[in-house]
Amino acid sequence: MEYKNRPAILTTRVVDASIYKVFEAWTNPAYLSQWWGPNGFTNSFLQYDLHPGGIWDFVMHAPDGKDYPNKCEFIAIEAPYHIAWHHLTPPPFDVDVLLEEVGDKTRVLFRMLFDTEADRDKKAVFVVPLNEENMDKLEVLLKTI
């Protein structure tokens, strides 16, 4: 995936779990559906084919009852270090997740890559704090697996 000169939103966090456990939380749909999305959201996974070219089709359900359909195509899966996908639902963007061992903890680098600064700026207003909520939910889940 090409990163240079692409406007990005970057969220990073060091979590208290092994890289293998973190990778499992990102790639096992039974776990991912529990923590993916902002506070109060739930998910329905319609399709989850974890391989390059595979589709992740899901609906995020907001607390107010509004549904947000999402469709993604996986680009790269390199256990336990890397997951990448194209978000196909408008506006399109790419996601790149890198996991790095930091002692017995794991650094999560979650990068959203956009085609234009305008697309990034529109999303950044609400995505930056919501991505932090997402990472908070990941940390809670990691304590249970």
- Collapse the DSSP code of 38 into the 3-class scheme (helix H, G, I; strand E, B; otherwise coil) and give the result: coil
- Tens-place pLDDT, residues 5-48: 899 999 999 999 999 999 999 999 999 999 999 999 999 999 99
C-alpha–C-alpha distance, residues 76 and 126, integer Å:
27
In a domain? residue 52: no
In a domain, 3, yes or no: no
The model carries a pTM of: 0.93
What average pLDDT does range 67-83 have in this prediction? 98
- Give the closest residue to 91 by CA, choosing from 114, 111, 68, 110: 114
Backbone phi, psi, residue 121, to 5°: -65, -35
Q: Is residue 94 part of a domain?
A: yes
Residue 14's domain spans which residues? 8-39+80-142
Per-residue pLDDT of 76-96, as tens digits, reads 999 999 999 999 998 899 999
User: How many CB atoms within 10 Å of residue 134?
Assistant: 19
* Residue 107 placed within a domain: yes
Give the N- to C-terminal CA distance of the chain in Å, as an integer: 30
Based on the structure, what is the number of domains in the chain? Answer: 1
Instruction: Give a yes or no: residue 88 inside a domain.
Output: yes
Between residues 113 and 5, which one has the greater pLDDT? 113
